[in-house]
Amino acid sequence: MPTPRPESAAPPALERHQRRREQGIPTLTVLAGPPGAALALWRRWLDARGQALCVCTSTTPEGLLREWMEALGQARPPTTDAAEHLGAAAGLHPGELASRLKGKTEHERGVLLQALLPSLAPGDVSAACRALLQLPQVVPNSTGPLDAVLAACEGDAMRALGAVHALVPGGAAPAILVSDPGTVAGWLEQAARVCARACESVPSLVVALQTERSGLEAYLRGPESHTRALVREGRVELAVPSAEELVRRMEALGVHKARALEAPLRQLAADGIPDEVLTRYGEAARKLEVADRESEAADGARSEAERFLYGVLDSLPATRGLFELNAKAEFRLRGRAVEVDFLSRRLRLAVEVDGYHHFRDPERYRRDRRKDLALQRHGYWVLRFLADDVVARFEEIRDTLLEVISIRRQGLGGPPPRGEDGDAGL
């Protein structure tokens, strides 16, 4: 196995890959190493380019298209790009058609579009443009842009991806990171195949695949193929510190019992957690040591553990963007807002971090039980962790969260959220 290059050497490789994309050469970036290190590097490079990121969990063409279009919709309305495309074909000034469509009734909009649509040339891009601007007419039972563009491209997800990507101005389309969940047999084979198809279908699409080195080595020993060649050519090694290096870093941060934290530090190293989050871990560990001696420091220690855990969740592809920190639920309890340490509305999951001294106050304990019941009645699963365990038993907390997130992702067809003005009635 080649010696891993330092992470600072990776950006030139990313720039080289990008030049190939701009030349129309299908190029897949393969980030070989831990998920946290891969996400940190990919985000840093995209931030420098001003490009949005789509972290994909799916390994099917339809799933990849769905997640990419969701990310695109958050960054910019695809209908605006469709209006620009049609306006340019009809000889209008930039922004003119979008301005003329604004405030129109459905009938007025239809009349205007019917007059301009013949300007479009045949092909998938024009079909996607027409579908996005005429959603109700093109697909009467459509649930949104995804159904519309799929129908316009005869159900071919890769054709639809290429068509919508062509509507978006250069550099404005979200880049993709497909990340290894580490728990699915045969995942890399499927992920490499769908990433290769995306790169072949849309050579200018920015795509990265993250996988652990051991799995990548095993995959590359398989029968030679075009996909394996693409993966091999795009490989970028990620260097990460060892658990022993992290122990020394904790000691430098003033953590006296750093040796007792070898198990969680080993997990943090394996995940490739970024430096700034490791610093938060050290701060949390140090403040918890102080809280063991001085009870008045307990709240500060709990807050530091909370900040660290949020940093971890934001730095792993599997959990990035799932949780809001100190967010208010969409219902009230006895007329008061319900605030949760980590709230995922999408997965209906609430996570609370409690200090040890928190449970010595009977009224706090009762209030928390009422809040837990209210959250459960509104379809949330509630997880509570001790702040001490977030540091000392981080690997257990991490595994529990990933397991529950996986279960909730599989059960997204559950009850919808209730209205903002609802009351738990407890």
Q: Which domains does the chain have, with CATH numbers?
A: 7-73+171-237 (3.40.50), 77-167 (no CATH), 242-426 (3.40.960.10)
pLDDT in tens, 79-88: 899 999 998 9
What was the pLDDT predicted at 110? 84
What was the pLDDT predicted at 40? 95
Residue 5 tokens, joined? 């290059």
What was the pLDDT predicted at 328? 94
> How far is CA 16 from each of CA 4, 13, 23, 203, 208, rounded to the nearest angstrom?
18, 5, 11, 14, 14
What was the pLDDT predicted at 357? 66
Residue 84 tokens, joined? 């620009």
Q: Is the pLDDT reported for residue 297 higher than 70?
A: no
- The mean per-residue pLDDT over the stretch 60-66 comes to 95
CB 423 within 8 A of CB 332: yes
Q: Is the pLDDT reported for residue 10 higher than 90?
A: no
pLDDT in tens, 130-189: 999 885 554 445 557 888 899 999 999 999 999 999 999 988 999 999 998 876 778 999
Q: Is the pLDDT reported for residue 423 higher than 60?
A: no
pLDDT in tens, 25-53: 999 999 999 999 999 999 999 999 999 99
What's the Rg (C-alpha) of the chain? 25
What was the pLDDT predicted at 382? 97
CB 192 within 8 A of CB 170: no
Percent of the chain whose pLDDT exceeds 70: 90
Strands 207-211 and 29-32 come out as: parallel
Q: Is the pLDDT reported for residue 210 higher than 90?
A: yes
Q: Is the pLDDT reported for residue 277 higher than 90?
A: yes
Cα–Cα distance measured from residue 110 to residue 206, given in angstroms and rounded to the nearest whole number: 35
Residue 294 binned pLDDT confidence (cut-offs 50, 70, 90): low
Question: Which residues lie below 8 Å from residue 143, measured CB to CB, with a gap of 6+?
Answer: none
Residue that the structure tokens 């559950």 belong to: 414
For 210, the 3-state DSSP assignment is strand
Could you list the beta-strand ranges (E) of 275-314: none
The better pLDDT of the pair 358, 5 is held by 358
Reported for 296-300, long-range contacts at CB under 8 A and 24+ positions apart, including other chains, are 298/355, 298/356, 298/357, 298/358, 299/355
- The total number of residues written for the chain in this structure: 426
DSSP string, 144-176: SHHHHHHHHTTT-HHHHHHHHHHHSPTTTSPEE
Lowest mean pLDDT among 106-110, 241-245, 403-407: 106-110
What was the pLDDT predicted at 221? 93
The most confident of the ranges 8-22, 223-237, 399-413 is 223-237
Residue 413 binned pLDDT confidence (cut-offs 50, 70, 90): very low
What was the pLDDT predicted at 184? 73
What was the pLDDT predicted at 420? 39
Q: Is the pLDDT reported for residue 2 higher than 60?
A: no
Residue 9 binned pLDDT confidence (cut-offs 50, 70, 90): very low
pLDDT in tens, 226-257: 999 999 999 999 988 899 999 999 999 999 99
Terminal C-alpha separation, the chain:
60
Residue 97 has φ and ψ, to the nearest 5°, of -65, -45
CA 255 to chain centre: 32
What was the pLDDT predicted at 301? 80
Q: Is the pLDDT reported for residue 421 higher than 50?
A: no
**Average pLDDT value for the chain:** 88
- The mean per-residue pLDDT over the stretch 102-115 comes to 85
